[in-house]
Amino acid sequence: MDGAGGGRRAYIGSYTSAGGRGITTAAVDPDTGALTVLHHTDAVPDPSYLVPGPGGGMLYAVSETEDGRAAALSLADPDRPSPAGAPVPVEGAGPAHLTCAAGQLITANYTSGSVSSLPLRPDGTLGAQPAVLPHSGRGPVRGRQEGPHAHAVVADASWRWLLAVDLGADSVWVYRLDHAAAALRPHGRTPMRPGSGPRHLAFHPRGDRAYVVNELVSTVVCCRWDRASGVLEPAGEVGTLPAGSGAEGENHPSELVVSADGRWAWAANRGHDSIAVLALEPYGEGMELVTTVPCGGHWPRDLALDPAGRRLYAANERSGDVTWFDLDPDTGVPHRAGSIQAPAATCVALG
């Protein structure tokens, strides 16, 4: 999204309940990727995850509260997102992730372990009657897997399917996207390794593989994805920590992103406070941990790639900053280039 003064914008979400500023708008320097803060709004409580809407006229946010809500903000002025109506209940607790697909805004409700679908009106505002699809199941890790905890919702490149990653139930649910009815249709469920705690998912650009990052065991799983049948099948697995790091029990990976050319993936390590660099096989399920680099702060909750694939942004929640890195195109290794303060930062959405 280009602002009034030219150039792209970044939108940073944060926990207002932990001292965050809500949604921060920052200008993105087209040459260096550097961020310059322009504006803050706390119109949405605890906007922990943001996504630009189709066409770029709206920004959508979850309000990660017990009475979970979703909000639409107009980007008529890209520098100053403004509420387009009041936040709408999703009828699920603790929504932590969202996406737009098939005329719907879809949220992953962590606390209640469900997925909600809100209709999008023609003007981009939110309808008020969500459809709620509850998950079921549990895992073996006490205190984290007593029930389902949906943590991410991601549409595949064909726009026929939506995958919902559930940390509590060690599963990935597959839904069919019904474009005509603007609805989700349950299709299948893929069990993951017990106790792994799958958190987020990213597709390979070719569309035949998906990579799942596991919060409870510090690994990434490569899965085969059949877009014709909507079947996900786990295959290879690799750790996100160097051998002998001693951080295994204290590390909780968060986000994973894949390069546009499919050569690299990067995973954020909370606890080890690093970014894991993974080399991906051009074909097949092989992965290799190349190295880890410091994330520039403490507790990296989110990663974002710029559209050109030249830079990586890390939202470091507990140190309260967003750090950006230049990416080496030959090695995939990020090199720290700068940072800005962003208290209780939880995500970076590049418009």
Structure confidence at residue 6 (pLDDT):
57
> Are 333 and 263 contacting, i.e. CB atoms less than 8 angstroms apart?
no
Structure confidence at residue 16 (pLDDT):
98
Structure confidence at residue 340 (pLDDT):
98
pLDDT 10s digits, 224-262:
999 999 999 999 999 999 988 877 779 999 999 999 999
Return the percentage of the chain with pLDDT > 90, whole number.
Answer: 93
Can you tell me the distance from the alpha carbon of 64 to that of 62, in angstroms, rounded to the nearest whole number? 6
The residues, ordered by sequence, that sit 6+ positions from 301 with a Cβ below 8 Å of its Cβ are 254, 255, 268, 270, 315, 316, 317, 345, 346, 347
pLDDT 10s digits, 124-164:
999 988 999 999 999 999 999 999 999 999 999 999 999 99
> Are 238 and 248 contacting, i.e. CB atoms less than 8 angstroms apart?
no
pLDDT 10s digits, 12-63:
999 999 999 999 999 999 999 999 999 999 999 999 999 999 989 999 999 9
What's the residue count for the chain? 351
Q: What's the token pair of residue 181?
A: 């009815």
| CA angle centred on 175, ends 174 and 177, rounded to 5° | 140
Query: Taking 70 as the threshold, does the pLDDT of residue 2 lie above it?
Result: no
| CA angle centred on 248, ends 244 and 251, rounded to 5° | 130
Q: Residue 351: how many CB atoms within 10 A of its CB? A: 20
Return the percentage of the chain with pLDDT > 70, whole number.
Answer: 98
Structure confidence at residue 162 (pLDDT):
98
